[in-house]
Structure formats: C-alpha cells, structure tokens
C-alpha cells in the first residue's frame, strides 16, 4: 500500500489536524506501462502549452491519444509525443475510442459550449472524463453531464487546478487552522484585456460559445476561490455589471461584473471580473488578526502570498516550482485507480454554474438579492485531503 493510499484511508476516521500532517506524504511515481492513459480533446492553447507538457512530467498519468479537427496538427503533435498514428482522432471518429483500451480518461479542452456534448460522448464510449472549467454553458447541460457519468458508472472531474495548487492549498490550511482569527472578508479580482482578433478570445467573447464572457472564463476562479477558501457555500448573491455596448468585444456578453456573496458564517465575499481591465488573478482574505494577499493567486506559476499582520507585511512567500496541471491529472489518475477521493466532481462544477447564473440573474434585476443555498456541500475539503509536494 502506497503512502498515498494509507494517507487517504486515514481521512474521515482521524481529526483534520492529523490528516493535515499525514497529507504531506509524497506522490509515488508509477511505471510508464501502468500509468493512466489520457486522450486530450482539442489542441488549442491550453492543451499545447500546459496539458501535454504536464502529462510528460506526471507521475501516474500519460498522454495516450489526441483529438483534433486539424489532422495535420494532430499528427505532428502525436509524433512529437511518441504516439502511434492510430492514437490520432478527429471529432467525427471520436466514438472509436470505445474500442481503444489505451485511453481511460478523456480530457475535454474545447470551447465551453462543446464540453457537454463531448463529455457525454466520452461516457458513452465507456471512458472517465476530466473536463475544463467552466464545465458547460448552462445549468441544464452540466446536469446532463453528471447524469451521463452516473449512467455510465464513470467518474467526472472538473479541472479546478487551484484545488491541487500548493500555494492555494497552503492558504486554505492557514484559514482552517484559525491562527489569524475568524475570516471576515474575501475580495477576488479575476480578469484581463480580451482581444477579438485572437481566435481563442473570439469564442470567449461570444455568449453562446463561452456561456458568459469574462465571468465564465475568469470570474469563475473568484467564485470558486471564495468557496474553497471558506469551505462553505454562499446563501445569497447580489451583482451589478458595467458594459460598454459600443465596444465591439461586448456584443453578446457582459464586461465588468461585480458581485457580493454572503456566507452562513457571516463572511462576505466580493468578486469582480472583466475582459477590459489590467490582468489580475488575485485575492485577499481579511481575518480578525491578519490579511492574506495572494497576488497572483491563480497563475500557472509564480503564485505569491503576502501575510500582513499588525500592519506589517511579511516577505512574500512563493513555493518551489511545480506543475499544477500534472498534479491535477495525477489526482484524476488516482481517482480512476480508486486511490484518491474525488475532490472536484461534476457537482462542484454545477455549483459554480448555478452561482454564475445567479450572478447574471441579479445583474439582469439591477442587483436584486438572489438566494443561492441549493443544498450543495463539498464531500472533501482540498485543504485536508490534497497533499503538498515534498519540497513545499
Ligand atoms: P483555444 O481556443 O486555444 O483552443 C480550443 C481548441 O478547441 C481549438 O484549438 C480547437 O482545437 C478546438 N475546437 C474545436 N471546435 C472548435 C471551435 N468551433 N472553435 C474553436 N476551437 C474549436 O482555447 P483554450 O485552450 O484556451 O481553452 C480551452 C478550454 O480550456 C476552455 O474551456 C477554457 O475555459 C479552458 N481553460 C482552462 C484554463 C485553466 O487554467 N484551467 C486556462 C485556459 C483555458 P483543434 O484545432 O485541435 O480542433
């Protein structure tokens, strides 16, 4: 039994502090032949820049196939990664994966509006699915994806990389141990400048393809962060938008959205997102006796934490470089092997879909309060179950 299995076996029968200590056990590398095979669907920026490189350094996951609408690109990427010619798929022969035992997990990295259909087809082919955020473009599609996973008896994980990212885990643990006193306020700011001339932004600015512009693309990090930082679910939200309809980028989506969640503990979480402000992926958490400033909090690397206590900022803390995509995919591989709990299931993605809809409903009603307690509670707190790398 590996350290990982025995550690996870502890959780639920021991106190959180014991589990936190045990959670530092390192991941064990798996021989290549025993790694879980991933098919990467959609060879765009994220797949080529982060996911395929992440699979090269993953300990328990490996690239087994690529799926693309551009055969030349797909053949080149396959060759560069040592895949045989028959591990290249198109969207039309996607269902052939059912007969391919090399593939256990299908990783959906397509524009948001295509997530649901390709996820459901992957389940019909008998595969497990890791799906990028946001999981879909409507609550109904997200529910259909969860139902398809259940019908196929396969696992659906949403790619919330911050649940597996060491600095975010470190911050969650600081908040859980209460050393700064009770948490009072969270502020999240997630946005950037979008460029219509950039193909991967063009679909993000299209309401039907993205399901909500900046909110669906960037704001979702703030919605999700407020929930994992606090480990509770909001009971209501109010939101406002400011959108310049003469700006050609904002024909079908809102631009600047600002919202305010209220949590059962009394914490208030403010969030904002925009595709027309300077790039930021940061948050701050204000507690009774100190402030945690994570800026950036959700970049692919270089995330940094400043702890402010007694009005004094301590030297910024950065953790040693790590590949958070590899960590996330290794987690999925362990879920499939039955060695790890499902930390970011479809239901976690569905909760964000419902909350983003509530934000847009409030925007449409000029900041009306929308009740948001639909009963969802996460099964596993990442702060308790997800290990930190050995060097962190
Ligand atoms: P890109 O636009 O760069 O890539 C999407 C790819 O999807 C395309 O390259 C194309 O691949 C394929 N595709 C199939 N049909 C279409 C279509 N109709 N229009 C456009 N592309 C199509 O997007 P990203 O890689 O940046 O984003 C993909 C997903 O990953 C999104 O859901 C996004 O939210 C998520 N994401 C998550 C991040 C994270 O940190 N977790 C960061 C960035 C994105 P091909 O040519 O091979 O068919």
- Report yes or no on 339 lying in a domain: no
Q: DSSP assignment of 222-277, as one string?
A: HHHHHHHHHTS--SEEEEEEE--TTSGGGSSS--EEEEEEE-TTS-EEEEEEESEE
Q: Is 111 in the pocket of ligand 1 (CB under 6 A)?
A: yes
Other Cβ atoms closer than 10 A to 320: 9
Which of 25-34, 207-216, 338-347 has the least mean pLDDT?
A: 25-34
pLDDT at 388: 87
Is there an atom of ligand 1 within 6 Å of 110 CB? yes
What residue numbers bound the domain in which 176 lies? 166-319+346-385
User: pLDDT tens digit string along 140-182?
Assistant: 999 999 999 999 999 999 999 999 999 999 999 999 999 999 9
User: What is the pLDDT at residue 27?
Assistant: 60
The last residue of one of the domains, among 161, 196, 211, is 161
Atom of ligand 1 nearest to the CA of 112: 32
CATH classification of the domain holding 122: 3.40.50.720
Last residue of a domain, one of 145, 161, 177: 161
Residues 137 and 173 in one domain: no
Q: What mean pLDDT comes out for the span 340-350? A: 98
- Domain assignment of residue 253, yes or no: yes
Tell me whether residue 380 is one of the annotated catalytic residues: no
Instruction: Pick the last residue of a domain from 141, 161, 181.
Output: 161
Say yes or no: CB of residue 202 within 6 Å of ligand 1: no
Distance 132 CA to ligand 1 centre (A): 9
Identify whether the C-beta of residue 96 lies closer than 8 Å to the C-beta of residue 89.
Answer: yes
- Give the model's confidence band at 389: pLDDT under 50 very low, under 70 low, under 90 confident, else very high: confident
Q: Is 261 left (phi over 0), alpha (psi -120 to 50) or beta?
A: beta
Tokens of 368: 């009306």
Asked if pLDDT for residue 3 goes beyond 50, the answer is no
pLDDT digits (tens, 9 = 90+) for 178-221: 999 999 999 999 999 999 999 999 999 999 999 999 999 999 99
For the chain, how many structural domains are there in total? 2
Residues 233 and 359 grouped into a single domain: yes
91 lies in some domain: yes
Residue 328 is assigned to a structural domain of this protein = no
Express as a percent the part of the chain with pLDDT over 90: 89
- 226 shares its domain with 359: yes
Which residue has a Cα nearest atom 30 of ligand 1? Answer: 109
Q: How far is CA 36 from the centre of its chain?
A: 20
pLDDT score recorded for residue 156: 99
Residues 106 and 242 in one domain: no
How remote is the CA of residue 182 from the centroid of ligand 1, in Å?
Answer: 40
Q: Does residue 333 belong to any structural domain of this protein?
A: no
Residues 350-365 have pLDDT tens digits of: 999 999 999 999 999 9
> Which of 89, 164, 221, 228 is labelled catalytic?
221
pLDDT band at 50 (very low <50, low <70, confident <90, very high): very high
Ligand 1 proximity of 231 Cβ (cutoff 6 Å): no
What's the rounded mean pLDDT across residues 18-40? 69
Q: What pLDDT is recorded for position 22?
A: 40
Please indicate, yes or no, whether residues 307 and 380 belong to a single structural domain of this protein: yes
pLDDT at residue 31 is higher than 90:
no
pTM of the entire predicted model? 0.94
- Average pLDDT across the chain, whole number: 93
Cα(43) to centroid of ligand 1, in Å?
7
Question: Which CATH number covers residue 277?
Answer: 3.30.360.10
187 and 254 in a common domain: yes
pLDDT at 21 over 50: no
What pLDDT does 29 receive? 79
């Amino acid at each position: 039994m590996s350290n990982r299995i025995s550690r996870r076996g502890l959780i639920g029968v021991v106190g959180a502090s014991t589990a936190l200590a045990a959670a530092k056990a390192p991941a064990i590398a798996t021989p290549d032949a025993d790694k879980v095979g991933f098919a990467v669907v959609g060879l765009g920026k994220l797949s080529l820049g982060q996911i395929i490189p992440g699979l090269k350094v993953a300990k328990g996951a490996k690239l087994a196939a690529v799926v693309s609408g551009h055969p030349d690109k797909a053949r080149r990427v396959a060759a560069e990664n040592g895949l045989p010619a028959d591990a290249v798929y198109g969207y039309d022969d996607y269902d052939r994966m059912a007969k391919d035992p090399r593939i256990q997990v299908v990783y959906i990295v397509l524009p948001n509006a295509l997530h649901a259909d390709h996820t459901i087809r992957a389940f019909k082919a008998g595969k497990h699915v890791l799906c990028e955020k946001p999981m879909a473009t409507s609550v109904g599609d997200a529910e259909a994806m969860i139902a398809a996973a259940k019908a196929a008896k396969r696992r659906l994980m949403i790619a919330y990389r911050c649940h597996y990212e060491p600095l975010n885990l470190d911050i969650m643990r600081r908040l859980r141990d209460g050393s700064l006193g009770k948490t009072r306020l969270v502020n999240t700011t997630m946005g950037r400048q979008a460029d219509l001339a950039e193909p991967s932004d063009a679909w993000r600015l299209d309401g039907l393809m993205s399901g909500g512009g900046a909110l669906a693309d960037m704001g979702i990090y703030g919605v999700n962060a407020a929930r994992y930082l606090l480990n509770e679910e909001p009971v209501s939200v109010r939101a406002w938008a400011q959108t310049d309809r003469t700006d050609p980028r904002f024909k079908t989506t809102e631009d600047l959205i600002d919202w305010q969640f209220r949590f059962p503990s009394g914490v208030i979480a403010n969030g904002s997102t925009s595709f027309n402000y300077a790039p930021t992926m940061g948050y701050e958490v204000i507690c009774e006796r100190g402030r945690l400033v994570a800026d950036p909090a959700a970049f692919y690397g270089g995330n940094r934490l400043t702890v402010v206590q007694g009005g004094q900022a301590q030297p910024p803390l950065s953790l040693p470089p790590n590949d958070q995509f590899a960590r996330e995919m290794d987690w999925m591989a362990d879920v499939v092997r039955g060695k790890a709990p499902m930390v970011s299931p479809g239901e976690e993605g569905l909760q964000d879909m419902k909350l983003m809809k509530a934000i847009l409903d409030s925007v449409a009603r000029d900041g009306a309060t929308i009740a948001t307690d639909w009963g969802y509670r996460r099964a596993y707190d990442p702060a308790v179950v997800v290990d930190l790398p050995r060097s962190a």
